[in-house]
A = this chain, B = another copy of it.
Amino acid sequence: MKLEPPEKKRPPRRRSTARTGETRDEILTAALQQFAEYGFHGASLREISKRSGVPLSALHYHYGSKDGLFFAAVGQVFARLSEARLERLTALRRTETPLALEQLLEAFIRPTIELASAPEGPSFMRLQSRVYAENAPLSDQLTKLVLDATHPFRAALEEIMPEVPDAIRYRGYRIMVSSLSGVPVDPMYEQLAKRAALPRRKRDIEALIDLLVSYHAAGFRSLQQSAAAS
């Protein structure tokens, strides 16, 4: 079916000579999309090569292997998110004493939704939700990477509700995180509500953040009440 005659299609544009950084970025962008769309196993280096216009062997040259490329792509996403979250948490620590639950949650949630609303956002989000499901040999490393980056938030949560046992607070934390990777890009929601799961208008983005913050703040408070009652 795909009999491609030996049509010599010389690349209309440049490609050749230097600019290593730019090539690496082009690879990473295409890789991100493909991994997000098809998962680790489903994505193919050949397709990434085609989409980025970078020859297959260059992928190996720059990132060594499929694992290496995946880790680079995912790591970049997490690094960006963690940076934005930490920035907000640090700002909070300077102005707020003590920390308020809603503001802590917003510091965590807002960067997720805002990043997701950027042009490349949907890819980011799908990739993120995939990572938790993929169990390539990489997933242990990724788990550690994510846990390290999010540690300050769990510590802050403990400050706010020290009376809630660790195991239970962690449950709440994971409920919240699951909802962040699941909710923003959600085909089921889109079909239900007949609108994009991830809003584009500034006003709707704020509304979604508010919704998530108040939902989870209420959830966490219910954990506090249970702890107090026992």
| A positions within 8 Å CB-CB of B | 37-42, 126, 129-130, 132-136, 139, 143-144, 146-147, 154, 166-168, 170-175, 177-179, 181-183, 186-189, 191-193, 195, 208, 210-212, 214-223, 226
Contact = CB atoms under 8 A, between A and B. Distances in A.
A144 B139 CA distance: 30
Q: Number of copies of this chain in the oligomer?
A: 2
Given A42-B134, A175-B179, 12 more contacts: A41-B41, A133-B133, A147-B192, A166-B193, A170-B189, A170-B193, A171-B183, A175-B212, A177-B188, A214-B223, A215-B222, A218-B222
Q: Which of A167, A172, A191 has the most CB of B within 10 A?
A: A167
Contact of A215 (B41, B126, B135, B223): B223
Given A39-B39, A179-B179, A218-B218, A191 B143 contact: yes
B187 A183 contact: no
Given A178-B178, A217-B222, A133 B143 contact: no
Contacts of A172: 215
A69 B191 CA distance: 25
Contact of A167 (B177, B193, B212, B226): B193
A188 B38 contact: no
A184 to B, nearest CB: 10
A163 to B, nearest CB: 15
23 contacts: A38-B135, A39-B134, A41-B42, A130-B133, A132-B182, A139-B187, A147-B188, A167-B193, A171-B183, A171-B208, A172-B215, A174-B179, A174-B189, A175-B179, A178-B181, A210-B226, A211-B223, A214-B222, A215-B219, A215-B220, A215-B222, A215-B223, A218-B222
A170 B226 CA distance: 26
A26 to B, nearest CB: 24
Nearest to A222: B218
Given A129-B133, A143-B191, A218-B218, A178 B174 contact: no
A29 to B, nearest CB: 19
